[in-house]
């Protein structure tokens, strides 16, 4: 287990992330044991000077960024739904325009029939037929009358149905507008929450001296390392050995190419990402569309057991499913952590795991 853990710790670095792509689904090649180099999940280091107050600040900042992440998910979902409502309204407007044109055409046809009857002296066809002496002409007239009656009946039925469809389109459009406005309000509310939480976290960080910020980063790294070590101590990697699918390999390739790009809430690339923006775009690049937010990914995608996961699967974090990372093999993920951080490699167990989903199951 010690040898496996050394290999795993070293795997959580950029070089080893690239190795995942070379041999998808297999354990990462283990370099010579050395102190971990990943900023996200470091190896053991000398502890910073004792500071209970600094640890309290770290927890407070972490909580604020977690709350911002939840609000970001709400914002992204409201944005996605608002875009869908807008698209539906456009479709309904097009159908309403077609319906109006159809009604005008039917009215013109009805008017033409009325004008033809007027030119015939205003007598209905039945009365005109009664004045015909020739039996053959009479029979021909009966046939034309029957055809005309059917055409008139069909015309009236089509006109009635088109008017009913138009009324239904109008009602649907009104409902979509109401949902659109509700979505916009949710979006704006979430946007304000995101900005407020991030501003509060930055305010706390701005109060710290340079040395305190360095110690704060060490505390953050050590908390992640401790969580990852406990996760590895469970022996979980002895059970996880799945190979990436072809689409999963492509998704990992895309995610790896984004390493180093900044986290920006609500971003879907190509220059920056939030956590679910990265995973949804990675799977889109692999040819599989998935929900935009981590909460919807958790709710709608097929769930699998942790020990069955393979590279390309998505690990959902925290009880509210507010964060997501892509498993890349040998106990590592690629994810967009939070504001102020870049897309990076981290330990899959460095955060509280809610579960695993597989987009291509």
**Which residues are part of the catalytic machinery?**
275, 323, 335
Give the dihedral sign, CA 113/115/121/122: positive
Most distant CA pair in the chain: distance in Å?
Answer: 119
- Residue 118: cis peptide before it, omega within 30 degrees of 0: no
Q: 356 forms bridges with which residues in the sheet? A: 304, 315
Q: How many other C-beta atoms can be found within 10 angstroms of the C-beta atom of residue 96?
A: 18
How many Å apart are CA 249 and CA 200, to the nearest integer?
Answer: 39
| Consecutive H or E run containing 154 | helix 135-206
DSSP 33: -
How many Å apart are CA 58 and CA 43, to the nearest integer?
Answer: 19
What count of Cα atoms within 13 Å lies in the side-chain half-sphere of residue 283? 26
Radius of gyration in angstroms for the set of CA atoms belonging to the chain, rounded to a whole number: 33
Q: Enumerate residues 6+ apart whose C-beta is below 8 A from 246.
A: none
């Amino acid at each position: 287990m010690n040898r496996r853990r050394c290999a795993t710790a070293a795997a959580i670095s950029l070089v080893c992330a690239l190795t995942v792509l070379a041999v998808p689904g297999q354990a990462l090649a283990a370099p010579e044991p050395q102190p971990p180099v990943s900023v996200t999940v470091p190896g053991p280091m000398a502890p910073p000077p004792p500071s209970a107050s600094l640890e309290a600040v770290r927890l407070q900042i972490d909580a604020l960024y977690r709350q911002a992440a939840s609000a970001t998910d709400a914002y992204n979902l409201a944005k996605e739904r608002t875009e869908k409502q807008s698209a539906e309204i456009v479709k309904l407007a097009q159908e309403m325009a077609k319906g109006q044109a159809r009604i005008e055409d039917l009215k013109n046809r009805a008017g033409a029939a009325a004008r033809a009857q007027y030119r015939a002296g205003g007598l209905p066809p039945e009365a005109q037929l009664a004045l015909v002496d020739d039996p053959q002409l009479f029979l021909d007239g009966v046939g034309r009358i029957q055809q005309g009656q059917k055409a008139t009946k069909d015309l009236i039925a089509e006109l009635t149905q088109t008017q009913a469809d138009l009324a239904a389109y109008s009602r649907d459009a009104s409902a979509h507008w109401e949902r659109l406005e509700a979505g916009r309000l949710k979006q704006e509310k979430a946007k304000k929450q995101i900005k407020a939480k991030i501003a509060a976290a930055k305010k706390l960080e701005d109060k710290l001296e340079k040395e305190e910020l360095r110690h704060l980063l060490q505390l953050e790294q050590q908390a992640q390392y401790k969580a990852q070590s406990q996760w590895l101590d469970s022996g979980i990697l002895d059970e996880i050995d799945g190979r990436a699918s072809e689409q999963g390999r492509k998704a990992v390739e895309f995610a790896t190419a984004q390493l180093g790009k900044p986290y920006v809430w609500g971003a879907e690339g190509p220059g920056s990402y939030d956590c679910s923006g990265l995973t949804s775009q990675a799977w889109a690049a692999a040819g599989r569309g998935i929900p935009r937010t981590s909460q919807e990914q958790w709710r709608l995608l097929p769930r699998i057991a942790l020990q069955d996961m393979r590279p390309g699967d998505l690990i959902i974090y925290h009880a509210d499913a507010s964060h997501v990372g892509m498993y890349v093999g040998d106990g590592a993920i690629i994810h967009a952590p939070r504001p102020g951080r870049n897309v990076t490699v981290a330990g899959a167990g460095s955060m509280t795991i809610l579960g695993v989903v597989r987009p291509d199951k």
